[in-house]
Structure formats: structure tokens, C-alpha cells
Amino acid sequence: MAENKKTYYITTPIYYPSDKLHIGHAYTTVAADSMARYKRMRGYDVWFLTGADEHGQKIERKAKSVGKTPKEYVDEIVAGFKLLWEKLQISNDDFIRTTEERHKKVVQDIFQKMYDKGDIYKAEYEGWYCTPCETFWTEKQLEDKCCPDCGRPVELLKEESYFFRMSKYQDRLLEHIKNNPDFIQPPSRRNEMISFIESGLEDLCVSRTTFSWGIPVPFDEKHVIYVWIDALTNYISALGYGSGDEKFEKYWPADLHLVGKDIVRFHTIIWPAILMSVGLELPKKVFGHGWLLLAEGKMSKSKGNVVDPMELIDKYGVDAIRYYLIREIPTGADGYYSEEALVERINTDLANDFGNLVSRTTAMIDKFNGGLIPAPSAEEPIDRELREFAQKTVSNVENLMEEFELSNAVGEIWKLVNRTNKYIEETAPWALARDSSKRSRLETVLYYMVEALRFCTVMCTPFMPGLPPKVYMQLGIENETHVHTWESIEKWGALPSGVRINRGEPIFPRIDLKKLEIQEQQASEGAQGEKEKDDVDKKIENEITIDEFSRVDLRVAEVLKAEKVENADKLLKLEVDLGTEKKTVVAGIAEYYKPDEVVGKKVVIVANLKPAKIRGITSQGMILAASKGDKLGVITLDKDIPVGAKVK
Ligand code: MSP
């Protein structure tokens, strides 16, 4: 009965809408989603929450810099979050925004309760503030006078603020962490937190007067509630805490707050202390996962190396991206992102191991059994070994999921994929098919292959929700929903016999990275061409100021070398001299100029254009040219002006 189902409440951090989300944020949400989907399959009544943390000075400043109100700004970015989660097939039950009334009310209510209890008091605050991180630091926490988290400069701020008497909860907190070994996971983070608390908890500044984009302190409107009380409260405001909503009764305390290692401290010290102050139960578990890094370190907007998950989904498909993220970050540790590693995973694990298993299995059923899934008969030792392996895999995956060991759980599924591929080699159904006396042996082997494949597919469901329907379709069991469930793999042999399969396209086509680059390039050159044609016949509009124009640094440059770019009909690679330096420029002029026709020409180049990679070549500028119809001419000078001269 539905009412008796065990509940499971899982959350992600609520992300800052200061910018678009990157692949690291996608990791947290995909990991939480996989867990939510798994628990649903295991019969839990799951509530899965994600959302946006929309207040604070950083967002206020960011909005101002682009001429928008904070609300306009966050509305736009949050729409992008929702689109991304939809594309990633995130199955969240709610999406909380801290600008919503339902949230504001709860935050003010909690603040008031803490104040009434004497846990919040007013005092003068002086501290080192990092605006991008929205964090105050003590002098001794700074590293080289900069923020220890992001390394950027901090400012000394002094103001009247409200403080939360967190020190009061130090002992209770420590006791809770020590008595509940599961509360902070993995254990390394738990130890870090214990030493942090043991070194002494200071009271926490919980209001600001230096900006206004936040929730006002209910009894002192010139203060806004500082981000962490505001943000953390989302986990209960979304359940309708205080409004009589049955969701709060039903789902609180949370079973799992999944967060990145960067914010474990806030979730295991500040949040529990707030809950203790308000008199609410603490979440059962906080899991601090590792980071997804690039070879050169963290992703950051300023370094321009942020990986956009939307682009990757469009290019490789959502299941492949989800698989890669879960597989690549070992539980609790950091993982490294590279597109090559992603393609490698797709080609090896998905196309080769899994995809081939599907196509071999369906091909053999087609060829050796008229397209029907056979019925098994006597089990031989080699079959038993596969069956036991499959059954053991199910229990291993179940145990690993309990420990939030997602990467290892997927690793176990892949061991079964490979074991099944090996079983095919060992039993050689093609040889059995040649001998009519081995008919029933062949049928058993074919059945075992498909049943093991079905086990793998069911177990993949939480991680790659798009995959199972494709496999079930090919196996002809798309309507047999009772064999898609987790329960159905708790016993071997649920797969029905006599079903007709439908062979189909490869489930995961192999990716040829070289070909893909060329296609992308051609698409972007094509788009560029179209745009140019459009522009020529357009009316002159979009006025700009002289200041705006002067941001474009146009210079005279001499072409020193020119050569054709391999596999690109339209491109020439030029080396140009700007007097003070030489630059490489890739220009789309190869259909109009032979390389030696441009060498020696003095041209005009946009010298401060952000470098871009074109066919693997970093192009460091753009030469000016005019075109209409099928004519194109490079802009040159009618007098001999020295290279490097500014063009105004
Ligand atoms: N708004 C706060 C969280 C408040 S929760 C009550 C915040 N937001 S954030 O936008 O900065 O996102 C933080 C979370 O995004 C991290 O805790 C982590 O889960 C995820 N990640 C951000 N960058 C990441 C990587 N490079 N790799 C993995 N996860 C990353 O902090």
C-alpha cells in the first residue's frame, strides 16, 4: 500500500544563478538523480529536490553589470537550469527558488524563532570578505591575504550585524557526529569536520547591511539575511515547513543531502546547528563528493575553460554523458574531465561492450532461433557460473548503492556485461547451431545470454534512463513491464520465452572524433557563410557609439606566410606580422585567393579578438574582407603604412 512505503528524501545543493551551470554542477545533479531513480525502483516513496540559490551581493552586482534587475537576471539563468535538467532527464519532484514566497516566509520564521530563543544577537562585525564566494574569513584563514577558497583578493568590512550563537551548539554537534558515523560521508570528510569543530566554533554572522538583494530580517528591515541561513533553509521550505503541509511530516528529516566537498562544512556544521536551535531533527546523511577537474585545474569562467553540458548532450547524447559522469568520478574523490576520455568511454564501454552485446545477442537469436527468445533447459556448470555471477552483481550493486558508491556500482554492472560477452565466446553458439543434436543446448545458451543482458539493462536504468527502452524494444519485451523492474532481477529467469525480437540500429554508435571535428567545422563555416550573405543586403541599423567601436583593436599587418588547411576547402592559415608580434590567423578566403597571392599583402586585422580553435589551429585574430555574391576581397591599404599602425 502506498501509505506504507518507506520514504526517501534526497537533495542537491541549490545552485547559484550567477552564471550558466557547467559539467561539474551536472555531475552532482546526475548523481542525485541516479540515486533517486534507484530508490524509486526499490519501492521507496522518493522526494527529490533541487533548486536555485538566488540572493546575495554577487548576483546583485552581476545583474547590475549587465543592466538588469536581480530578478530579471536570475529568472533568465534559472530558466536555463530547468532546461538543462530536462535535457539531462533529471527526475526532480520539486524545484525551489529562494526568491519564492513559500521560501521567504520560512526563512523569516526560522530567523525569528532563533532570535526569540536568544540564539541570534546583534553586534559589530569586522572581517575579511570574499565577494565572489560570499564568505567572511578570519585573518588567520586567509592565504597570502587572499580568499583561501578561490584565491581572489578580500576586503575588510566592518558593520553592525546579527550573529548566530553557533558556539553554543559545538558540544552537541560533536557528540552527534561521533555517535552517528554515517552522518558525514565519506569518512575522510567526517574527520575533517571533527577537527574543524574541535578547533573551536565561532559565532556566525547571519545578516548584512551592505546589499539589499536578500530576505529582510523580519524585525529589522535594514538587514538582509546572509546567504547561508537563507540557502540551507530551502531543504525544509520546499517541504512546506510551518504551513501544515503533510510533505514536511512525511519526508523530514532528509535521508541524503548530496553536496560537493566545498560545501560540506556548511551542511554538517551550520545547518545542523540551525536545526538544533529551531528544534528540528537533523538530516540522516550528508555526502560530500569530489570535484570534476580539468587537467589544468578547476573550471572557471575567467580562465574560459568552462565545459558546457548542453553542448555535450547535443553532441554525444544524454545517456553517454550521464554514464561518463557517474563512471569517471570515483566516489568521494576527484575525477578529471577530458573530451578524449569521454569519447573513449563511449567507444569502449558503451559501443563495444554494451552495444555489441545487444547486437550480437539479437543477431544470434534472429539467425539461430528464427527471431524468437527460446526457453532454457538443463543448466550446465558454465551457465550456472553466469547466473550466479549475475545474481551476485545485483547484490553487489545494491550494497554499493547503499554506500553511495555510484561509480563502483556501474563498474560492477560492466563486469557482468563483460562476463556475458565472455560467456558467448566460451559457449560459441555459432558452433552449437551447426549441430542439430545440440539444439536444446543452443536454446539454453541463447536464453542465458539474453537474460544476463536483461539483468545489465535493468541495473542501468537509474544511471541511463534512456537506454532500457531501446534495449527492451530490440528484445521485443517493451510491453512486458514486469521484467523491467528491480524485483524482476532478484530471481533469474523472469524473461519470457517465445517473444519475437526486433533487431535495430546500434544502441551506441562509435564516435570518430576526427570526423566529428570536421563536420562541426563545416557546419560552422556554413553558418558563417549564410550570415555573411544575410548581412550584405540588410539595412544599416544597430547604431554603436564611438567608444564601442574603439574597443575593436584594428591594426595593419603583413602576411608573411600562407598555406591551405588540410581537409578544409575554405580555409587558409596565415602568419601575419604586427610589428610588435606575429600572429597565426585562420581565414575563410581559400576559395578566392591562392596562398601565394596573399603573401606580402598588407591587410587589416582585428588584433584583440579572443583566440578560437579552428580545425585544431588556434586562430589569434581575423582579417577584414568584404564579400557579396560570389566575390570576396581582402581589405588592403592604398599607401604604404607600417605594420602595427592602428586603423581607426
Ligand atoms: N548556492 C550554494 C549551495 C547552497 S546549498 C544550500 C553553492 N552553489 S554553487 O552553484 O556554487 O554550486 C555548488 C555545487 O555545485 C557544489 O557543491 C558541487 O556539488 C557542484 N559543483 C560545482 N563545481 C563542481 C565541479 N567542478 N565538480 C563537481 N561538482 C561541482 O555553493
Answer whether 299 contacts ligand 1 (Cβ < 6 A).
yes
Q: Report pLDDT for 416.
A: 98
Task: Calculate the average pLDDT of the chain.
Answer: 92
3-state class of 237 per DSSP?
helix
pLDDT digits (tens, 9 = 90+) for 246-286: 999 999 999 999 999 999 999 999 999 999 999 999 999 99
The count of C-alpha atoms lying within 13 angstroms of the C-alpha of 587, restricted to the half-sphere facing its C-beta, is 33
Q: Report pLDDT for 138.
A: 81
Q: Report pLDDT for 530.
A: 45
8 A C-beta contact, residue 103 and residue 229? no
Q: Report pLDDT for 531.
A: 44
Q: Cell numbers at residue 270, please?
A: 551550520
Average pLDDT over residues 156-184: 94
Q: Cell numbers at residue 475, please?
A: 528484445
CA-derived radius of gyration, the chain: 30
Answer whether 14 contacts ligand 1 (Cβ < 6 A).
yes
Instruction: Identify the residue whose C-alpha is closest to ligand 1 atom 25.
Output: 24
Q: Which residue, 573, 567, 577, 620, is CA-closest to 593? A: 573
Atom of ligand 1 nearest to the CA of 234: 6
Average pLDDT over residues 358-386: 97
**Which of 30, 59, 262 should be mutated for ligand 1, with most atoms under 8 A from CB?**
262
Answer whether 235 contacts ligand 1 (Cβ < 6 A).
no
8 A C-beta contact, residue 23 and residue 325? yes
3-state class of 360 per DSSP?
helix
- For residue 241, pLDDT over 50 is answered with yes
8 A C-beta contact, residue 269 and residue 288? no
Cα–Cα distance, 90 to 82 (Å, whole number): 9
- For residue 196, pLDDT over 80 is answered with yes
Using alpha carbons only, what angle is made at residue 31 by residues 26 and 34, rounded to the nearest 5 degrees? Answer: 120
Cα–Cα distance, 182 to 627 (Å, whole number): 67
Cα–Cα distance, 83 to 85 (Å, whole number): 5
Question: Greater confidence, 295 or 80?
Answer: 80
Cα–Cα distance, 400 to 413 (Å, whole number): 11
Answer whether 10 contacts ligand 1 (Cβ < 6 A).
no
pLDDT digits (tens, 9 = 90+) for 135-156: 778 888 899 899 988 889 999 9
Instruction: Identify the residue whose C-alpha is closest to ligand 1 atom 5.
Output: 13
Answer whether 58 contacts ligand 1 (Cβ < 6 A).
no
Atom of ligand 1 nearest to the CA of 293: 26
Average pLDDT over residues 194-213: 92
Answer whether 448 contacts ligand 1 (Cβ < 6 A).
no
pLDDT band for 458, please (50, 70, 90 cuts): very high
| Ligand 1 centroid, distance to 259 Cα (angstroms) | 7
Q: Report pLDDT for 529.
A: 46
Task: Compute φ and ψ for 234, nearest 5 degrees.
Answer: -55, -30
pLDDT band for 124, please (50, 70, 90 cuts): confident
pLDDT band for 520, please (50, 70, 90 cuts): low
Answer whether 78 contacts ligand 1 (Cβ < 6 A).
no
Q: Which residue, 307, 368, 383, is CA-closest to 341? A: 307
Answer whether 258 contacts ligand 1 (Cβ < 6 A).
no
Answer whether 231 contacts ligand 1 (Cβ < 6 A).
yes
8 A C-beta contact, residue 109 and residue 242? yes
Q: Which residue, 558, 563, 603, is CA-closest to 586? A: 563
| Ligand 1 centroid, distance to 25 Cα (angstroms) | 6
Average pLDDT over residues 283-302: 89
Atom of ligand 1 nearest to the CA of 290: 28
8 A C-beta contact, residue 564 and residue 596? no
Q: Report pLDDT for 192.
A: 92
Q: Report pLDDT for 539.
A: 65
| Ligand 1 centroid, distance to 556 Cα (angstroms) | 46
Parallel/antiparallel/unpaired status of strands 286-289 and 184-185: parallel
pLDDT digits (tens, 9 = 90+) for 58-70: 899 899 999 999 9
Answer whether 334 contacts ligand 1 (Cβ < 6 A).
no
pLDDT digits (tens, 9 = 90+) for 305-324: 889 999 999 999 999 999 99
Atom of ligand 1 nearest to the CA of 13: 5
Lowest mean pLDDT across 37-41, 277-281, 335-339, 495-499 = 335-339
* Residue 531: partners with Cβ closer than 8 Å, 6 or more residues away: none
Parallel/antiparallel/unpaired status of strands 335-336 and 292-293: parallel
Q: How many residues does the chain have?
A: 648
Long-range contacts of 546-555 (CB under 8 A, 24+ apart): 550/648, 551/608, 552/606, 552/608, 553/606, 553/607, 553/608, 553/646, 554/604, 554/605, 554/606, 554/607, 554/624, 554/646, 554/647, 554/648, 555/604, 555/605, 555/607, 555/643, 555/644, 555/645, 555/646, 555/647
Lowest mean pLDDT across 181-195, 511-525, 577-591 = 511-525
Cα–Cα distance, 605 to 554 (Å, whole number): 6
**Which of 11, 12, 19, 28 should be mutated for ligand 1, with most atoms under 8 A from CB?**
28
pLDDT digits (tens, 9 = 90+) for 407-445: 999 999 999 999 999 999 999 999 999 999 999 999 999
Q: At what angle do helices 23-41 and 309-316 cross, to 10 degrees?
A: 60
Q: Report pLDDT for 532.
A: 46
pLDDT band for 126, please (50, 70, 90 cuts): confident
Burial (CB count within 10 angstroms: exposed 0-12, middle 13-18, buried 19+), residue 28: buried
Answer whether 260 contacts ligand 1 (Cβ < 6 A).
yes
Answer whether 16 contacts ligand 1 (Cβ < 6 A).
yes
Average pLDDT over residues 220-234: 94
Answer whether 49 contacts ligand 1 (Cβ < 6 A).
no
Q: Report pLDDT for 528.
A: 47
Q: Report pLDDT for 52.
A: 98
* Residue 138: partners with Cβ closer than 8 Å, 6 or more residues away: 127, 128, 202
Q: Report pLDDT for 1.
A: 43
Instruction: Identify the residue whose C-alpha is closest to ligand 1 atom 17.
Output: 260
pLDDT digits (tens, 9 = 90+) for 463-510: 999 999 999 999 999 999 999 999 999 999 999 999 999 999 999 999
Instruction: Identify the residue whose C-alpha is closest to ligand 1 atom 26.
Output: 24
* Model pTM score: 0.81
Q: Report pLDDT for 642.
A: 92
Q: Report pLDDT for 546.
A: 80
Alpha-carbon distances of 179 from 172, 173, 183, 394, 403, rounded to whole Å: 10, 10, 9, 31, 18
Instruction: Identify the residue whose C-alpha is closest to ligand 1 atom 8.
Output: 15
Q: Report pLDDT for 536.
A: 46
Cα–Cα distance, 28 to 8 (Å, whole number): 18
Q: Report pLDDT for 610.
A: 74
| Ligand 1 centroid, distance to 231 Cα (angstroms) | 12
